Amino acid sequence: PVLAQSQPSQDKTAEAKPVKQKKDKAAKQAAQPAKATQQTTATRDGRAMGGLTASPTDFGNVFAGSGANKSAGGVSGKDLGGGYMIEEETPKSRSTVTRDAIDKLPPSSNPYQMIQMLPGANATSTDAAGLNGGNITMRGLNSDQLGLTIEGAPVNDSGNYALYPQEYVDAENTEQVSIAQGSADLDSPHIGSTGGVINVYMRDPSKTAGGYISTSIGSHDYKRIFVRAESGQIGNIRGYASYSHYERNHWSGVGKDERDHVDAKVVIDTEGGNHMRASLIFNNANNNFYVQPTKAQFASPGNANYNRALTGTATTDTSYYDYRINPFRNLILSLPSDFKLTDKLTYDVIPYMWYGFGSGGGVSTMNEDNGTGTNKVYYGNVRLTNIDWNKDGVINNSTRVNYYNPSITETYRPGVVNKLTYTIDDHKIVGGYWFELASHKQTAPYAALTSNSTISEPFLTNSDGFVIPNGAYAGSTLQRRDWQTETMTNVVFAGDTWTMMNEKLKLEYGVKQAFVNRTLDNHLPGATPSVKTDDTATLPQAGISYKLTKEHQVFASVG
């Protein structure tokens, strides 16, 4: 869209912090709070395949050069490659976009739009504002074959591994987004990432108290406001919280997308070089779907879109645009922390929780049936008869009534990643364990429309659904689907990084063993009541790199 963005308020949040080195935590602990005129410097770290998910400094370094004073929005203007490149030292194909590049994009941009210029990534968006999701492929593999973490927490759909980029961090709070085209790292908490991994990192809170406001307007009635408040350094704690609201009419056809979003992050630096970063992301959205035309519709003259108005005919009105909605709420909690146990031994842990609730919208046409009708309604494999769907007191086989019938999904996804790192001589040895228990409930209740044929509650719950009035299942909530999937994941991993020849040559090798137990319980009549699968896989990986000069290296990896 054509956007007009206000100038951010230049208050005390302006700060330039040296890029943090997780490799030297004691030095970080002793560092004084940064001032607004402090210069950034280049640093290096080669944690490699042992630590991509926890912190952006684990896998590379942002090179801002000397004299790079950051703005209130975190922009130096001197990041390498305009923000599309960092110095990498690991034997893997990785690319990163930093704040300098992210700040040039529309403020509503989602992670797909942030990385669409990186090698190997092919991103598409339904709309330019990023409010309606999109799709991405990396080296030809689709988004449900990629893993995505935010502050170390995996956010793929636990059922089918799908991604929903419009739900994640606001662009103003995004510090870096990286992609790894290939096998996931040893500690990466994914079981479906055959095509690579996307990692999103939130900015750390400022050490100076202040605020930041950004507003945007644009075509198709685009409106957005973003507000962030910074606590500044209070003892060994600092944090921020932000709120944004934006909305936009569809550029094609009729419809509207709307989102309210909250981000928060707290950093605690304790004595002894220990660090904890607690983050919260809450998203509440309600979008209309864009029509997905067939090949024939696309080739035909005209405009294939959902109906703009109701006609009064049930079968025709199923294509009414305001029935094609996608309300969704989700919450992401993460607490990546690292503790220095001894000079040689560190412990990293990432407890996390992902919660989501929402639906795919839509209506279904209910046919009245006195037992002799040909248009039938089923609950599982049970035919429902003698139900007065339009409540006029008459059962007429020709009567058809639309009911709101969304596909509801509710997900709880708690987990924890544990990792120990031991450094001895030229070796950095890692070992760890990832556990997750995901609960994925999918239902599809029916609810009557209002007297004006509108949806009364987009976020329909099962308790609001239509209750079967008679027959063997009287008192049950009518469902089109009703099943629950429980997925337990256990992964153990171990690896080593061996540095030789004055740190010019690095050899990395490791293996992880994954155990996945999945149970599906189907509650519809006549369905197979329960299905259980147990899978395990051994996943080795190795890589080698040789530093030709300070700026250049060659590498190879397999996994």
Higher-pLDDT residue of 345 and 273 is 345
What is the pLDDT averaged over residues 195-200? 91
Is the confidence at residue 365, as pLDDT, over 50? Answer: yes
Q: Is 52 left (phi over 0), alpha (psi -120 to 50) or beta?
A: alpha
Alpha-carbon distance of 190 to 138, in angstroms, equals 16
Query: Where residue 194 falls among pLDDT bands split at 50, 70, 90?
Result: confident
pLDDT in tens, 467-480: 999 999 999 999 99
CB atoms within 10 A of CB 6: 11
Alpha-carbon distance of 96 to 82, in angstroms, equals 11
Is the confidence at residue 434, as pLDDT, over 80? Answer: yes
Which of 125-129, 247-251, 499-503 is least confident? 125-129
Whether residue 171 contacts residue 108, with contact meaning beta carbons closer than 8 Å, is answered with: yes
Residue 41: predicted pLDDT: 36
- Which residues make Cβ contacts (< 8 Å) with residue 452, sequence separation at least 6? none
CB atoms within 10 A of CB 337: 18
Residue 50: predicted pLDDT: 38
Residue 272: predicted pLDDT: 84
Higher-pLDDT residue of 252 and 534 is 534
Alpha-carbon distance of 15 to 204, in angstroms, equals 11
Alpha-carbon distance of 559 to 542, in angstroms, equals 6
Query: Where residue 323 falls among pLDDT bands split at 50, 70, 90?
Result: very high
Reduced to 3 states, what is the DSSP secondary structure of residue 44? coil
Show the DSSP H helices in 332-418 as ranges. Answer: none
Is the confidence at residue 110, as pLDDT, over 60? Answer: yes
Computed over every residue of the chain, the mean pLDDT equals 85
Is the confidence at residue 490, as pLDDT, over 60? Answer: yes
What is the pLDDT averaged over residues 423-448? 96
Residue 301: predicted pLDDT: 78
Q: Identify each DSSP E strand in 132-255 by its residue range.
A: 135-138, 146-150, 153-154, 174-180, 196-202, 210-218, 222-230, 237-249
Is the confidence at residue 504, as pLDDT, over 70? Answer: yes
Residue 347: predicted pLDDT: 96
Query: Where residue 69 falls among pLDDT bands split at 50, 70, 90?
Result: low
pLDDT in tens, 143-160: 889 999 999 999 999 888
Is 524 exposed, middle or buried (CB count within 10 Å of its CB: 0-12, 13-18, 19+)? middle
Alpha-carbon distance of 278 to 96, in angstroms, equals 23
Is 500 exposed, middle or buried (CB count within 10 Å of its CB: 0-12, 13-18, 19+)? exposed
CA distances from 258 to 4, 218, 289, 290 (A): 19, 14, 12, 14
Most confident of 80-84, 260-264, 452-456, 554-558: 260-264
Alpha-carbon distance of 172 to 508, in angstroms, equals 35
Q: Domains plus CATH for the chain?
A: 13-202 (2.170.130.10), 247-258+268-558 (2.40.170.20)
